Amino acid sequence: MILALETSCDDTCAAVVDRGRVLSNVISSQAAHHAEFGGVVPEIASRHHLELVNPIVDAALREAAVSLDDLDAVAVTRGPGLIGALLVGVSTAKALAAARRLPMIQVDHLHGHVAANFLEPDPLEPPFLCLVASGGHTLLAGVTANDGFETLGQTLDDAAGEALDKAARVLGLGYPGGPEIERLAADGNPSAYDFPVAMAREPGLDFSFSGLKTALVYAARDLTPERLHEERADLAASFQAAVVGQLTAKLKRALDDGDWPAVALGGGVAANGPLRDRVGEICAERGVPLKLVARQLCTDNAAMIGAAAECLKKEAHPAYLDWDALV
Ligand code: KG4
Ligand code: ZN
C-alpha cells in the first residue's frame, strides 16, 4: 500500500493506492487563489501547499481508513513542475517516510498522467499510445512498459492547456480556462472562425499552439468590446475545435506510423468532452480500443502518482534523504 503526494503545480494532492485500487484520492485545488491573476503564481502556490499538505495527507489516510503504520512506501512527484511547489511535496514525503524508515519512490509527473490508465477499474496494459495534454506539457507517449514511456512528439512552444488558459483570458473567462472554454463553446459554432490547425503540413509528431493563440488575439482585437462579448461562444468553439483538431491530427498520424493496439489519454485537457468524443470516433473508425479514465484522474491528482510508483523501483531509507526536486 502506497501513500502518494503530488504538489507540482497548484493542486495539493494525496492518495492511498493499493495494487491498482484507489483507496482515497484527495485534491485541494488552489484555482480560486490564482484566478484573479489569470494563471498560477508560483510563490502563492508554494505557500498554499505548505498550509494544505498536512490536512490533505490526513484526509487521504482517513478516507482510505488506514494509518501510516499500514503503508509499504511513500511516493512523491519529484518533477517537472514549479520548484517551490515540488519541494513542499518532496520534503513532506521524506519526513513521513523517514520517521518510519519506509522506502520512497520518486515519480515523474508525466509518467503519472500516463499511469492513471493503469488504475482499476479496467486497467490498461502496455503497449499503447497515450496523448498527454496538460497545462505544462503536450506530447504523444509510446508506452511499451509500465515503468516509463518514449516521447514520440511534443509541443515546440505552448502546451494545449496553456493555450486554452490564455484564450480564456482573452475572452474574459476565469482560470483554469479549459473547462470555461468547453462550457462556453457548447453554445458556439466551431466553424464560425477559421483558426489555423498548426503543423498540419509539417511531417512528424510535434505540436505548436502559439500561432493559434496569436490568431485569437488578432481576431479579438478586430472586434469592439460589445461584439467581442457577443462572439465569445463562437470564438471559444472555434478555438477549441482548432486545439482538438491539432491534437487529433497528430494522434492519427502516430496511429498511421506505429502499430498501437490501444489508445489512451492523459492530462487535464483529456477531461475535455469534444476531445474525448473526437478521439472516440477516430478509434472506432480504426477498430482500436480507447481507454478513457474518469475526468478527475485526468487533471492533477496523487492516485496517478501512486499508480506510477507501483511500477517503479523503491529507494530504501536513508538514500532518499538528499533528493531534491527536479524542475
Ligand atoms: O494536468 P493538469 O491538471 O495540470 C498540469 O499538469 O498542467 O492540466 C491542467 C490544464 C489546464 O490548462 C486546464 O485549463 C486544462 O488542463 N483543462 C481542460 C479541461 N479541464 C482542465 N482543458 C480543456 N477542457 C477541460 N475540460
Ligand atoms: Zn499534470
The confidence score (pLDDT) of residue 68 equals 97
Give strand ranges (E) for 175-225.
none
Q: Are 39 and 126 in contact (CB under 8 A)?
A: no
Which numbered atom of ligand 1 lies nearest the CA of 267?
1
Specify the pairing of strand 73-79 against strand 104-108.
parallel
Q: Are 274 and 244 in contact (CB under 8 A)?
A: yes
Mean pLDDT of the chain: 96
Check pLDDT > 80 for residue 91.
yes
pLDDT tens digit string along 288-319?
A: 999 999 999 999 999 999 999 999 999 999 99
Ligand 1, atom 21: closest residue by C-alpha: 268
CB atoms within 10 A of CB 54: 13
CA–CA dist 263, 290 (Å, integer): 5
Ligand nearest to the CA of residue 134, numbered in listed order: 1
Q: What is the mean pLDDT of residues 7-13?
A: 96
Confidence class for position 203, pLDDT limits 50, 70, 90: confident
CA–CA dist 178, 134 (Å, integer): 10
Confidence class for position 196, pLDDT limits 50, 70, 90: confident
Main-chain phi, psi angles of 187, to 5 degrees: -100, 10
Estimate the share of the chain in helix, then strand, then coil, as percent rounded to the nearest 5.
45, 20, 35
Confidence class for position 37, pLDDT limits 50, 70, 90: confident
Report helix, strand or coil for 16.
strand
Distance of CA 56 from the midpoint of ligand 2 (Å)? 18
Take residue 40 and report the three cell numbers written for it. 498560477
Distance of CA 201 from the midpoint of ligand 2 (Å)? 29
- Angle in degrees, CA 112, 134, 55, rounded to 5: 60
Q: Ligand 2 (ion): which residues have CB within 5 A?
A: 134, 300
Ligand 1, atom 14: closest residue by C-alpha: 178
CB neighbour list of residue 12: distance below 8 Å, 6 or more residues apart: 27, 28, 30, 48, 49, 52, 53, 56
CA–CA dist 316, 101 (Å, integer): 8
Closest CA to 296 of 11, 92, 7, 30: 11
User: Domains, the chain, ranges and CATH?
Assistant: 2-116+300-322 (3.30.420.40), 125-292 (3.30.420.40)
Beta bridge partner(s), residue 327: none
pLDDT tens digit string along 255-281?
A: 999 999 999 999 999 999 999 999 999
User: What letter represents residue 82's amino acid?
Assistant: L
The confidence score (pLDDT) of residue 177 equals 96
Distance of CA 236 from the midpoint of ligand 2 (Å)? 23
Closest CA to 97 of 259, 311, 309: 309
The confidence score (pLDDT) of residue 21 equals 98
Ligand 1 first shell, C-beta below 6 A: 9, 134-136, 161-162, 164-165, 176-179, 182, 267-269, 271-272, 299-300
Percent of the chain with pLDDT over 90: 93
pLDDT tens digit string along 139-193?
A: 999 999 999 999 999 999 999 999 999 999 999 999 999 999 999 999 999 999 9
**Of 40, 82, 134, 184, which is best to mutate to test ligand 1, by the most ligand atoms within 8 angstroms of its C-beta?**
134
Distance of CA 255 from the midpoint of ligand 1 (Å)? 24
Lowest model confidence (mean pLDDT) among 63-67, 194-198, 208-212, 271-275:
194-198
Distance of CA 180 from the midpoint of ligand 1 (Å)? 11
pLDDT tens digit string along 42-88?
A: 999 999 999 999 999 999 999 999 999 999 999 999 999 999 999 99
Distance of CA 132 from the midpoint of ligand 2 (Å)? 9
CA–CA dist 194, 311 (Å, integer): 44
